[in-house]
Amino acid sequence: MSLSIIFMGTPEFSVPTLRSLVDAGHRIVAVYTQPPRPGGRRGLDLQKSPVHQAAELLGLPVLAPVNFKDPEDRRRFREFKADVAVVVAYGLLLPQEILDGTALGCYNGHASLLPRWRGAAPIQRAIMAGDKKTGMMVMKMDKGLDTGPVALTREVEIGETMTSGELHDRLMHVGAKAMAEAMVKLEMNELPLTPQPADGAVYAAKIDKSETRIDFDKPAVDVHNHIRGLSPFPGAWFEMEIAGKLERIKVLGSELAEGAGIAGEVLTNELVIACQTGAVRLVKLQKAGAKPLVAADFLRGTPIATGTRLA
């Protein structure tokens, strides 16, 4: 036996779940994704989303409405007469008519331990806050923002140097397995639903460009969490003068280190930087338009003298 499923997702994070449902033998009657966006080297070409590309390779029908305001889009969704919709990082809020548009409802794979980190950027926010663990939750969607009852939870430890990119890759595979398991239980009418607790809700706001600059005038642990939480994208950064020109340097990796000094001061020739309290070692850096380099290689081309102040 199998379910007829409408799959809804957009980025690379969603692709393993789509493939896991196909591999499990479910019938994917339609794939919904965000419309093609400008991209390419010059930003002039329309590029299909990773889910769109994966669905085409799998021979699945793809729909990419801008939203569901058009009654025709809502009607088409209902006419698939699917058992269930599976939603992973789709990128659109679903109206009630869509939430009610399948026999068994819509189930979302969300990358946090709800109710902590509801919203757009749960992976980055968990690391930036210094959380020691997070996870994937399968949740039955309701009209609220990540407020529905939870069906299945899989916890994941967050290592001390783990970046958001590394955690993203770990969670997308954990989430794929979790959703496949949840659909088996749903098909057997054995999927429990537990309301989220009223306490502990935290909103994971989308990362804003204004918060990406590194502030060394904070405790080292906060600086370290900020760097790894924004790595590899959009990337935390500082500015320094290179050949008489102020340039932005992204920091894509760091670790806590011993040392003390004025906040932002380079303490050693291994890029140990003083913070408000403690210090961090910068271990991977990237100049604009260049590839990421480990600190030793970066310093060969861009020496940074001990005593320099980074800001």
Show binding-site residues for (6S)-5,6,7,8-tetrahydrofolate.
Answer: 112-115
Q: Are 132 and 158 spatial neighbours (Cβ–Cβ below 8 Å)?
A: yes
Q: Are 147 and 107 spatial neighbours (Cβ–Cβ below 8 Å)?
A: no
Rounded to whole angstroms, how far apart are CA atoms 182 and 169? 20
Angle of helix 50-57 versus helix 15-23 axis, rounded to 10: 20
Rounded to whole angstroms, how far apart are CA atoms 165 and 127? 11
Q: Are 220 and 256 spatial neighbours (Cβ–Cβ below 8 Å)?
A: yes
Residue 228 burial (10 A CB sphere; 0-12, 13-18, 19+): buried
Binding site per annotation, positions: 112-115
CA dist 235 → 96, 205, 251 (Å): 36, 16, 7
Q: What is the per-residue burial (b if ≥16 Cβ within 10 Å, else e) of 147-158? A: ebebbbebebeb
